[in-house]
Structure formats: C-alpha cells, structure tokens
Structure 1
Amino acid sequence: MSFDDDPGRGGGDPADDRFSTLGGTRQTRTRLPEGTGDPYGSTRRPQRGSRSLVMVVGVVVLLVAAIAFANRGGDSGSSPDGQSPKKPDAQSTAPSGTKPVGGKQGGIASGFAQTEQGAQSAAANYAVALGSEGMFKSSTRADIVRATHDPAVVDGLLGRLDQAYTPSFFKNVGLNDDGSTPSGLTFVSRTVPVGTKVTQQDGASATVEAWCTGLVGLAGPGSTKPVTQTWFTITEKLKWVGGDWKITSSSQTQGPTPVSGDDRASTADEIAKAVQGYGGFTYAR
C-alpha cells in the first residue's frame, strides 16, 4: 500500500510527519500474493529443507565460536607492533546489569536514572509508547504524550496531533473515520527497539538514537491492510525535567533495514492471536 498523498518522513516536527513514531504508520508499498489466498502470504513457496539445514548448522557454528571466544577471558594475541590489539566494543549489545525502573506513569515506564544508560532506557520505552495503538485514540494519545514529553511542549504538540489525525488519515490505515477498528479485525501498531545509541549527553540533556522495527496493519479475515514490518531509526532529544528524562523533540529516518528471510508469512488469525496474547517489555540498558 502507499500513502503518496501524505507528507514524507523527515527530521522536522514529528507531529507534521504522519510516518513518524508518533502513532504513524511507517507503511511502504506492499505487493500482495496473486489469487484469492490469505493476504498474509499463504500462497508463498514453502521453505527449502536444505537451506533451513544450512542455516541451523551456521547458527550452531556461530554459537560455538561465540562461546569459545568468551571462554578466552583476558587472553589476547599481539599486534604486529607488539601492542595488544583493541577488543571489539560490546557496549552496543551488552546489558548493563541495571534493574529496570519500577515506576510507571500512565502505564509507561518512568523514573529513569540521570545517566547515559538512563537516557537510553527512556528513549527505548518512549519509542514503544509513541508507536502503539493508543496514539490513534484521542484520550490515550493525550496521556501518552504527557507521560513522555517535556510539559513545555505538550499542549502545542497535542494540538498539532489532533489536526493530523483526520478521518482521511484513519482511512489510509484501514480504520473507521473516528479511529476505531472495523468489526472483526485487529489493529496492530507496535514499535520494537533493537538497539540504542547516545550521540550527546550532559547533566541535563541527551540525544539518543533508537534503531527499531515496527509492525502495523489490520489482522483478520478480509483485511486489505495486512500487518507488515518496517525498520527505522528514531532520534529523541531528551531533557531532564522534574527528576526524569522527557522528550523535547524527535525525528525519524528509514532503516537500517536487513534482508528479509524466507519465513512463511503467518495467517491473519495467527497474527491477531499473537498481538492479543503477547504483551510488551520494559526496556533497560
């Protein structure tokens, strides 16, 4: 599907970018399978057994190599000039050991530490909230924005968002004119952070990039907007306000996007049950 008439993504005001993580769709053109089969791809070719076997063997080899590398401890070789080579920096993937925050505001994690790790945790959790189904309802949208943003920007942002969520916008994502979900279908809008990176941080401000994947669409029989996956990077500018990190502004760009695998696309019913049965996480570094 394509929303050629809507504004594109960019680094401007997130409220003006309907593809941003502020409840945007992040949709791209989707080529549906030919015929009358399930729109989620039941007509796709089955996986090839030999390829699957190669992938499994490859994963096992990688795991063995990783374990062997970890067991080497502090041993390292020497570089040609006699100095020890620099080890890869694992900061981007290694957990910090810090326990997730215990506080919540409107169901959203809060009470993050005034540290680099705290800023990353805040950015990840805020990305999840701002990419959720709740952004498509006026009542919950206001709660989400207030819980994640600097109070100084909340009122202006809510006004612009209310103007952006119009009947035509809802129609583009397959919803009813009032933003409700058509009968018999399940609306899906989820953001899943893959990693975070701090590009600027001091005592009272921080800029964090969150690399994310997203799911968006309608699951159910007869859906013309099947759930699809997208990849994007959100940049959040945070400010230390009232003892917590809050967003002052954000922007979004596409990718990095990995190559899609050969996994069989699930049916609409399977997707709907997964969304209804699996909850989200509190993200912490």
Structure 2
Amino acid sequence: MSLGDEGQTRTRLPEGGGDVYGGARRGGRSSSRSLVTVVGVVVLLIAAIAFANRGGDDSSSSSPSADKPKTSATSPTGTKPVQSNYAHDQQGAQSAAANYSVALGSSDMFNTASRHDIVNAVYAPDVAATRLSALDSAYSSEKFLTNIGLDKDGRAPNGQTFVSRVVPVGTKVTAFSAGAATVDVWYTSLFGLSGDSSTNPVTESWYTTTYQLKWIDNDWKVTDFQQKDGPVPVGRDQKASTADDMTKAVEEFGGFTYAR
C-alpha cells in the first residue's frame, strides 16, 4: 500500500448522509448546532482510539447466509484489519489520524472503561496521563449529559437510539519527518438521538482536525490537535428520513474500524 501523491487520499467509506430525520423538527437550529459543537470540542480532547491496533467489534458472522448482520448501534464492526502497528511512513500517519477520527465520534467515549482504553491507546503516554481526569470530569457531568439527552450513565432514553459517528472524507500530510507528522483529517459528524420523541434529532456537521503525531514505541501517537469548522458542502434538497428509518439504519449499518 504505497502512498503515491502526498495530497491524495484513498478511503473505503460509503457516501455520507445526514439530514435531520423526520418527526421531531429542530425548533432551534442554532441550539442544536451548539450542542453538536460542544460535543465535538469535548470529544476531540481524547483524539480517539487506534482501532487498527486494538481491533473492532469481535462479533463476526460465521455464516455468510445469516438472516441479519449482528451489529451494535454506532459501534464499529468487522474483523481486525491489520495485525501490526501503523506503518512508519506518510500513509501510516494518515491511517492513524483517520482512525483516531473514526473513534473520536464513537459512543464508546461516553463509557468510562472504554474511554480510558481509548485515551491510553491513542495518546503519547505523558499526554494521556494529563487527559484522563479532565475527560472523566467532562463526560460524567450530569448537566452536559442532560443537555444532549442522555442520563447520568450516558444512556439514551427508552425508545431512542444515541447516534455518534464520524466519517472521514479525506486526509493530507502537511509536515513529516521520521519522528513526527502533522495530518489534517476532513470529516462529517453525525450526532443526536433518533426516535419519535427525540428533541435532539440526528444532525450532521463538518470539521477538519489537525493532528500532531509522534513516532513512539513503533507506532504513531497523538500529542496535540486543533479543530476548525468545514469545509461544508452545499446540502442537497433531499427529503429527511423518518425517525424509524434513521434508527433502523443506525442499528443495522455498523461503523468502520479502519478508514484508510
């Protein structure tokens, strides 16, 4: 898997989609967007997990003729894509950054145990140590969880599904050396609660995050990041999906463990 042109990104992802679903209407667009922005900023503090090193959902389909794929809502699915650390080159750095973004938007960040695994797996050791307490405080805040529609344990109300995903669109290396790399990841984020009674419907946002990576113990680790809005494409005039269709899609379409 050679890189080729440094500015070219090769991903294997489905087309993004994410109009707010039908049913509950966004009474205050700016309010909903601010919630998504808050979540994006808070979650970005952890920069996510290197799924290629830790694998994804261990559930697998032993029979290709299974009636229905067994997936977990908003969680990655599939077997472990690689059996080693990220490559010590530009493409390896881009793969690491893209997959940090995939996990960055994962609902696993709202669970204490998985959040700790994420931080310890992704950050450089000295950075991870300074992140844990701040992240635990942010994600255990009842006010924060209530504002996004979750209970104190980070669970969605009965009859609703918590959706939190990131879909990388592309990556580029802006600086590279044997010991460090700077990688931009452009992605779309889906966030909200799907369900007929949801007051925080699933919305999409667009961001670019710049990751500072360091080569430590034969792998790329995050040392810092910066986030900015966009680029944001013009939305098409598509009919919004119903709450039922959105929930069904989230439950049946598993996320990705490896984006590049």
Aligned-pair distance for 1:18?
2.4
CA contact (8 A) 1:213 1:232 kept: yes
Q: TM-score, normalised by structure 2?
A: 0.71
The count of aligned residue pairs is 203
Within the alignment, does 1:170 sit opposite 2:145 as a pair? yes
User: What is the aligned partner in structure 2 of residue 128 from structure 1?
Assistant: 102
Within the alignment, does 1:251 sit opposite 2:226 as a pair? yes
Task: Call closer, same or farther: CA 1:225–1:136 in 2, change over 3 Å.
Answer: same
What SS does the corresponding residue of 2:100 show, helix, strand or coil? Answer: helix
Match of 2:191 among 216, 219, 236: 216
Give the Cα separation in 1 of the matches to 2:226 and 2:214: 15
Match of 2:54 among 93, 98, 105: 105
Give the Cα separation in 2 of the matches to 1:23 and 1:130: 6
CA contact (8 A) 1:237 1:249 kept: yes
Render the CA deviation track for 1:173-195: whole Å, top value 9, x for unaligned. Answer: 11112211111110000000000
User: What is the aligned partner in structure 2 of residue 40 from structure 1?
Assistant: none
What SS does the corresponding residue of 1:236 show, helix, strand or coil? Answer: strand
Aligned-pair distance for 1:23?
8.5
Which residues in structure 2 correspond to 1:8-23 (within 5 Å)? Answer: 17-18=41-42, 20=44, 22=46
User: What is the aligned partner in structure 2 of residue 283 from structure 1?
Assistant: 259
What residue ranges of structure 2 are gaps of 5+ in the alignment?
Answer: 1-27, 57-79
Which residues in structure 2 correspond to 1:76-115 (within 5 Å)? Answer: 104-105=53-54, 107=56, 111-115=85-89
Aligned-pair distance for 1:203?
0.1
Q: Which has the higher contact order (CA 8 A, sep 6+)?
A: 2
Aligned-pair distance for 1:172?
1.2
Give the Cα separation in 2 of the matches to 1:23 and 1:200: 19
Give the Cα separation in 2 of the matches to 1:116 and 1:238: 11
User: What is the aligned partner in structure 1 of residue 206 from structure 2?
Assistant: 231
User: What is the aligned partner in structure 1 of residue 159 from structure 2?
Assistant: 184
Task: Call closer, same or farther: CA 1:228–1:102 in 2, change over 3 Å.
Answer: closer
What SS does the corresponding residue of 2:118 show, helix, strand or coil? Answer: helix
Give the Cα separation in 2 of the matches to 1:230 and 1:186: 19
User: What is the aligned partner in structure 1 of residue 240 from structure 2?
Assistant: 265
Q: TM-score, normalised by structure 1?
A: 0.65
Match of 1:145 among 98, 107, 119: 119
CA contact (8 A) 1:21 1:252 kept: no
Task: Call closer, same or farther: CA 1:21–1:195 in 2, change over 3 Å.
Answer: farther
Task: Call closer, same or farther: CA 1:225–1:103 in 2, change over 3 Å.
Answer: closer
Which residues in structure 2 correspond to 1:14-53 (within 5 Å)? Answer: 17-18=41-42, 20=44, 22=46
Q: Give the aligned CA root-mean-square deviation in angstroms.
A: 2.9
Task: Call closer, same or farther: CA 1:209–1:4 in 2, change over 3 Å.
Answer: closer
CA contact (8 A) 1:21 1:127 kept: no
Aligned-pair distance for 1:104?
2.8
User: What is the aligned partner in structure 1 of residue 69 from structure 2?
Assistant: none
Task: Call closer, same or farther: CA 1:21–1:216 in 2, change over 3 Å.
Answer: farther
User: What is the aligned partner in structure 2 of residue 119 from structure 1?
Assistant: 93
What residue ranges of structure 1 are gaps of 5+ in the alignment?
Answer: 25-100
What SS does the corresponding residue of 1:259 show, helix, strand or coil? Answer: coil
Aligned-pair distance for 1:20?
3.5
CA contact (8 A) 2:44 2:104 kept: no
CA contact (8 A) 2:47 2:101 kept: no
Larger-gyration structure (1/2): 1
Render the CA deviation track for 1:92-146: whole Å, top value 9, x for unaligned. Answer: xxxxxxxxx9953163876110101110010000111111101111111111112
Give the Cα separation in 2 of the matches to 1:5 and 1:211: 20
Give the Cα separation in 2 of the matches to 1:230 and 1:5: 11
